[in-house]
Amino acid sequence: MHPLRRLYPELQIQCNTSEVEVEDIMVNMIIDGKNVTAKKGTMLLEAIRNAGISVPTLCVHEAVSRSGACRLCVVEIQKGSRTRIVTSCLYGVEEGLIVNTQSTRVLNVRRLVLELLLARCPESDVLQKMARDLGIEKEPRYTVDTDKGKCILCRSCVRVCEEVVGVSAIGLFSRGSYKKVGTPYNEPSDVCIGCGACVYVCPTGHIEMTSTGDKRKIWGRTFKMQACSKCGKHFAPIDQLKFISTKTGTTMEELSVCTECR
């Protein structure tokens, strides 16, 4: 089962990974010297990973559409005599493509991106581990930020809220280095249902959600939790269940039983 289904048992989760229709035609490529075949319409990133080659990513999440924001997945491709850097998570596979995932240019971009993110989010253990795995150290020339938390602005939270949950309680505001994720005007959101899907997709654990007893706190709002009518466990915000009820027509009574007791 898709992990988000557990949060939304009644909703259809659409996994949006490609804008192009997947066709039953296979294409041949050479990736890091290996011959690789892939289905036309799929993305280069999947072809590379299927070939057993690892590519780091932070903004790719199976539940949401891809933005190409983190730039870690870039690879160098060669078509004819022309080589260029492309975003493998968004670049469709092509017949005859020669792909290099370890070229100097690729490694320089990866190194830069991780150095920049380490300076932005010095507390992030996820970034530190990824940097260690890739042999990248923090760049001492940058003064580390103290006000960004662990948010790398991958926008997975914004997309899950819009595309999967369908409420758009959070969004991106401001521009450039002032860009932030949050609710409108940083005020508690009326449309947020407290579901925590944003917490679930966040790759660095930036978004804070605390659940104690019959209360859950997220994005500056406190939600009352529903107690399971069978086992009595507080399992979901009442607002979330009401939302699902309106969307699916399932009665609140039915929804008041937690997934384990159903």
Partner 1 sequence: MIENPDTQARQILDNLTLYYGPKKKFVAICAGTGCRASGSVQVKEAFEAEFKKQNMDVDVLATGCLGFCEKGPMVIIHPDKYFYEHVKVEDVPEIISKTIAKGEVISRLLYRHPDTQKALFREDDLPFYKKQHRVVFGRNGMIDPSRIEDYFAIDGYQALAKVLGEMTPDAVISEVKKAGLRGRGGGGFHAAVKWEGVRKAHGDPKYVIANGDEGDPGAYMDRSLMEGNPHSVIEGMIIGAYAVGAHEGYIYVRNEYPLAVEHLTMAIEAAREKGLLGKNILGTDFSFDIHINKGAGAFVCGESSALFASIEGRAGEPRAKYVHAVEKGLYDKPTVLNNVETWANVPLIINKGADWYASIGTEGSKGTKIFSLVGKINNTGLIEVPMGTTLYEIIYDMGGGIPNGRKFKAVQTGGPSGGCIPERLLDIPVDFDKLYDVGSMMGSGGMIVMDDTSCMVDVARYFLEFLKEESCGKCVPCREGIRRMSDILEDICAGHGREGDIDILERMGAAIADGSLCALGGSAPNPVLSTIRYFRDEYEAHIRDHRCPAGVCKALITYSINTEKCTGCGVCLKACAVNAITGEKKKAHIIDSEKCTRCGACIQSCKFNAIQVK
Site of interaction with partner 1 (CB under 8 A): 19-20, 67-71, 74, 85-87, 90-92, 105, 108-109, 111-113, 116-117, 119-120, 139, 141-143, 152-153, 155, 172, 174-179
In the complex, the smallest distance separating the C-beta of residue 76 from partner 1, rounded to whole angstroms, is 9
In the complex, the smallest distance separating the C-beta of residue 31 from partner 1, rounded to whole angstroms, is 17
Output 172 or 231, the one with its CB closest to partner 1. 172
Output 183 or 226, the one with its CB closest to partner 1. 183
Output 206 or 221, the one with its CB closest to partner 1. 206
Output 113 or 202, the one with its CB closest to partner 1. 113
Backbone conformation region of residue 27, classed left if phi is above 0, alpha if psi is from -120 to 50, else beta: beta
In the complex, the smallest distance separating the C-beta of residue 209 from partner 1, rounded to whole angstroms, is 25
In the complex, the smallest distance separating the C-beta of residue 149 from partner 1, rounded to whole angstroms, is 15
Output 43 or 225, the one with its CB closest to partner 1. 43
In the complex, the smallest distance separating the C-beta of residue 220 from partner 1, rounded to whole angstroms, is 22
In the complex, the smallest distance separating the C-beta of residue 91 from partner 1, rounded to whole angstroms, is 5
Q: Give me the residue label for tokens 């104690």.
A: 212
CA distance 110 to 70: 10
Cα-based angle 75, 80, 83 (whole degrees, multiple of 5): 30
Output 176 or 213, the one with its CB closest to partner 1. 176
